Structure 1
């Protein structure tokens, strides 16, 4: 029999990478918001 993979199964690596990226994005935004207490705070790059 010829079974066809659903689009979700075919692109599983893509969706896992997308969800991990979304999670890391939200964590980094949370970290930045709570690191800079006052508006206008800056950190020099070097």
Structure 2
């Protein structure tokens, strides 16, 4: 896993994205590396 991506940062981005009304999965997919499966954001 890349050190550039922090779970905390992802959560913050996720919350902001949700608050803005955009699709969280779409943004996370672009933000994080392909190493992390997008299925994790299904929760």
TM-score category of the 2 structures, normalised to the smaller one: 0.3 to 0.5
Bigger RCO of structures 1 and 2 (CA < 8 A, at least 6 apart):
2
TM-score by length of 2: 0.37
TM-score by length of 1: 0.35
